Amino acid sequence: MKSVLIGVGQAGGKLAEALADFDSRSSFGAVLDAIAVNSAEADLRDRSLDSVLVGQSRVNGHGVGGDNELGTEVMQADADEVLGALDGRVTARTEAIVLVAGLGGGTGSGGAPVLAKELKRVYDRPVYALGVLPGRDEGAMYQVNAGRSLKTLSREADAVLLVDNDAWRSTGESVAAGYEEINEAIARRVGLLLASGEAVEGVGESVVDSSEILKTLENGTIAAVGYASAAAAPEAGENVSTVTSVTRQAVHTGTSLPDAVDASAALLVVAGRPEAISRKGVERARKWVETETGCMRVRGGDFPLDSDRLAALVVLAGLENSDRVQQFLDRAREATAEAESVEAERPDSTDVWQNDEIDDLL
Ligand code: GDP
């Protein structure tokens, strides 16, 4: 799926860069272009991508400090600059535009939904978001921000591919220390997903096409991606259980949104040397995904890759009603209610001006 990436905010910029690097290292050519957008000048300086600084008149390059309402405002004011930067980058070859953002912060959280809306207005192309959920031990503000951002993004974008920051963190490791590892894991999964419709070697009937990805993501608003790989035997006949076991692992331990299996559509891509991919294994694995997720239809295909390993890439779409997403939304609602009650208990600082004769200046 030939895509143009827009990394919004700090996490979004780093992840868009990791994705573009993975795509170019693997010579896939699925990432056509990538830019970074931020209100914090210092964060853009660290990126190798072309960049757009937004909100200069409002925050003077200093960022929005985790205030996602301000993130929304600055993006609304400067969306035209971002659209201008996409001129000539989004071309007839572009099959999708992918916004990348951490949903718990300020610029990405508040800005990505604005851009999704603007991009849908201007381009006749699917607009997807790759959104990062804050880890459980990140503060209440992150949960509140992510809840609001996810709600709006789900409405404005064609689909939101969710990554839980707790998904690939080794136990005991802090979120910050684990970022690099997490970003690599995301880049590999999403990078392979974007590339899987681009297969050039072996153009057999079973090779997956980009349209399968697009059709899978049409089934709902929230999606997740899972991945696992294992060493393969040279002959397909010896790899029946390898295909089924990597598929199970992709869904259960290799997914970007752990424990979300209640999906309305799924896609299973099996990557490896064509002669090593067991058809019987693929058939069994698809049946297993069908039963496990309750999907009526599991799309799929092969991704021919010159590798000694076999890998399964599983996209689950329509996860909005899954327990996992509902749990996150409950966490965000609780954090929002707590923040509001603290606000209500605080003495109203404007009281001192009540019944006062002094007029406001503005
Ligand atoms: P912004 O710059 O205002 O958009 O804010 P951030 O992008 O820093 O968003 C904060 C959220 O993103 C928090 O939930 C962080 O845990 C997460 N985050 C920040 N940097 C990274 C990163 O490099 N990788 C991942 N996976 N998450 C990150």
Q: Which of 12, 318, 328 is nearest to 154 (CA)?
A: 318
Last residue of a domain, one of 162, 195, 228: 195
Confidence of residue 357 (pLDDT cuts 50, 70, 90): low
Q: Is 182's C-beta closer than 6 angstroms to any atom of ligand 1? A: yes
Residue 55 inside a domain? The answer is yes
**What is the distance between the alpha carbons of residues 275 and 287, in angstroms, rounded to a whole number?**
22
Q: Where residue 321 falls among pLDDT bands split at 50, 70, 90?
A: confident
Closest CA to 149 of 115, 186, 104: 104
Residue 333 lies in a domain: no
DSSP state for residue 134 in the 8-state scheme = P
Which one, of 278, 317, 315, 282, lies nearest residue 301 by Cα?
Answer: 282
Task: Tell me if 354 is assigned to some domain.
Answer: no
pLDDT at residue 181, as a whole number: 87
Pair 163, 268 in one domain: no
The verdict on residue 153 lying in a domain is yes
Mean pLDDT of the chain, nearest integer:
91
CATH number for the domain harbouring residue 249: 3.30.1330.20
126 in the same domain as 24 = yes
Residue 177 lies in a domain: yes
Same domain, 82 and 29: yes
pLDDT at 191 over 90: yes
pLDDT band at 327 (very low <50, low <70, confident <90, very high): confident
Give the residue, out of 69, 179, 181, with the most ligand 1 atoms within 8 A of its beta carbon, to mutate for a pocket test: 179
pLDDT score of 345 more than 80: no
pLDDT of residue 335: 86
| Res. 351 pLDDT band, cuts 50 70 90 | low
Q: Does residue 20 register a pLDDT over 90?
A: yes
The tokens of 56 are what? 């200069």
Query: 10 in ligand 1 pocket by Cβ < 6 Å?
Result: yes
Residues 178 and 233 in one domain: no
Beta partners for residue 5, in sequence order: 34, 98
Q: In this structure, are 132 and 244 located in the same domain? A: no
Residues 256 and 188 in one domain: no
Does any domain span residue 353? no
pLDDT over 70 (residue 157): yes
At 109, the amino acid letter reads: S
Give 85's pLDDT tier (boundaries 50, 70, 90): very high
Return d(Cα 72, Cα 111) in angstroms, integer: 5
Q: Determine the pLDDT at residue 231.
A: 97
Query: Which of 46, 114, 165 is the pocket-test mutation for ligand 1 (most atoms within 8 Å of CB)?
Result: 165
Instruction: List the single range of 72-86, 103-117, 130-144, 238-252 with lowest mean pLDDT.
Output: 130-144
* pLDDT score recorded for residue 349: 52
Whether 12 and 157 map to the same domain: the answer is: yes
Confidence at 167, pLDDT banded by 50, 70, 90: confident
Q: Do 131 and 244 have their domain in common?
A: no
Contacts of 257 (CB under 8 A, 6+ apart): 133, 162, 163, 164, 167, 224, 319, 324, 325
Claim to verify: residue 148 and residue 231 sit in the same structural domain: no
- 67 in a structural domain: yes
256 plus 302 within the same structural domain: yes
For residue 295, what are the domain limits? 220-317
CATH number of the structural domain spanning residue 11: 3.40.50.1440
22 and 161 housed in the same domain:
yes
What percent of the chain shows pLDDT beyond 70? 91
Euclidean distance between CA atoms 243 and 287, whole angstroms: 12
Q: Which helix (H) or strand (E) holds 221?
A: none
**How many domains in the chain?**
2
Look at residue 340 and tell me if it is in a domain.
no
Are residues 304 and 246 both part of a single domain?
yes
Round to whole Å and give the CA distance between 9 and 4: 16
Structure tokens given for 76: 């609304």
